[in-house]
């Protein structure tokens, strides 16, 4: 019995010694996996990819999860928070809070200060502010159009259209015009079809006049709406300013976009 016990113990020790190097090898081979952002530059026309690059790069934008900015108003700023992956949104002011949880747009207020349509407004300023990067969304088509001429300067451009069932207004069209040398965005034409659900030939025009570096992304400081009719660019009709912008790769708690229980 004693010989069997000693033999068994010896075999166990020998077995353990032979297994140890394998275990160490397995640990040594374990390497941390780094998350990488796919290179999407080849997904777009070369000119559009160059516009993205001039504004910091579509990959830089894709690495961000949350965008926050404030729309400057004399009566109090609007703070806009958007989840860039889900496009859930929250707009906060002293008079109302408006949100979108992915299914429903809601509003909480003690009065009737906000008289617009929450579903239409929840991402309106976000789209204008997050240009040109929102034109990198899926389901978009790009078509070269004639240059936009403003005085003696010509700005090359593309028409952007959407596939069916993309967003709330798939019949919307955008027209991106950029500086031919710097490739920075200069003008944005757009149509509104949210209410009629029909295609529109009426194009509104925004001038992008100056930029702010927000965590490596060039995003606008000021937007100017210009008179625009039959391809002729007119005077400035109104302007909006943006302040306190930031981006983060961190995901915000989804509850901030949820409809409050007391809101019907």
Is the pLDDT reported for residue 195 higher than 90? no
Residue 14 resides in a domain:
no
- Strands (DSSP E) contained in the chain are 66-71, 78-83, 89-92, 96-100, 105-109, 140-150, 153-162, 174-178, 185-190, 204-214, 217-229, 232-248
Is the pLDDT reported for residue 38 higher than 80? no
Residue 114 maps to which CATH number? 2.50.20
Residue 11 resides in a domain:
no
Residue 196 resides in a domain:
yes
Length of the chain: 264
Q: What is the pLDDT of residue 1?
A: 42
pLDDT in tens, 211-228: 999 999 999 999 999 999
Q: What is the pLDDT of residue 36?
A: 61
State the CB neighbour count (10 A cutoff) for residue 98. Answer: 22
| Peptide linkage before 132 cis (omega within 30 of 0) | yes
Q: Number of structural domains, the chain?
A: 1
Q: What is the pLDDT of residue 20?
A: 44
Residue 64 resides in a domain:
yes
Residue 14: in which H helix or E strand, if any? helix 2-29
Percent of the chain with pLDDT over 70: 80
Quote the CA–CA distance of 17 and 7 in Å, as a whole number.
15
Residue 253 resides in a domain:
yes
pTM: 0.81
Band (pLDDT 50/70/90 cuts) for residue 162 is confident
What average pLDDT does the segment 82-97 reach? 96
Q: What is the pLDDT of residue 262?
A: 78
Residue 142 resides in a domain:
yes
Most confident of 25-29, 40-44, 192-196, 241-245: 241-245
> Considering just the CA atoms, what is the radius of gyration of the chain in Å?
27
Band (pLDDT 50/70/90 cuts) for residue 166 is low
For 171, the domain range is 41-257
Residue 242 resides in a domain:
yes
Q: How far is CA 229 from the centre of its chain?
A: 29
Residue 2 resides in a domain:
no
What average pLDDT does the segment 38-56 reach? 91
Q: What is the pLDDT of residue 33?
A: 47
Is the pLDDT reported for residue 35 higher than 60? no
Q: What is the pLDDT of residue 169?
A: 59
């Amino acid at each position: 019995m004693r010989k069997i016990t000693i033999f068994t113990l010896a075999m166990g020790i020998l077995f353990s010694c032979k297994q140890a190097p394998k275990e160490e090898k397995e640990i040594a081979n374990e390497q941390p996996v780094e998350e990488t952002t796919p290179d999407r530059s080849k997904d777009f026309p070369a000119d559009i990819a160059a516009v993205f690059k001039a504004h910091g790069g579509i990959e830089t934008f894709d690495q961000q999860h949350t965008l926050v900015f404030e729309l400057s108003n004399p009566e109090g700023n609007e703070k806009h928070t958007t989840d860039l992956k889900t496009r859930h949104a929250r707009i906060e002011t002293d008079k109302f809070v408006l949100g979108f949880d992915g299914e429903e747009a809601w509003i909480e207020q003690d009065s009737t200060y906000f008289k617009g349509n929450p579903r239409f407004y929840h991402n309106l300023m976000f789209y204008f502010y997050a240009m040109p990067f929102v034109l990198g969304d899926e389901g978009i088509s790009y078509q070269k159009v004639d240059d936009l001429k403003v005085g003696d300067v010509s700005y090359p451009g593309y028409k952007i259209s959407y596939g069916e069932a993309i967003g709330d207004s798939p019949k919307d069209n955008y027209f991106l015009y950029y500086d031919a040398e710097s490739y920075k965005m200069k003008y944005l034409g757009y149509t509104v079809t949210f209410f009629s659900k029909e295609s529109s030939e009426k194009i509104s025009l925004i001038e992008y006049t100056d930029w702010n570096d927000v965590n490596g992304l060039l995003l606008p400081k000021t937007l100017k709406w210009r008179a625009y009719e039959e391809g002729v660019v007119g005077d400035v009709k109104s302007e909006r300013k943006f302040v306190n912008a930031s981006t983060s790769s961190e995901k915000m708690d989804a509850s901030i976009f949820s409809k409050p229980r007391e809101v019907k």
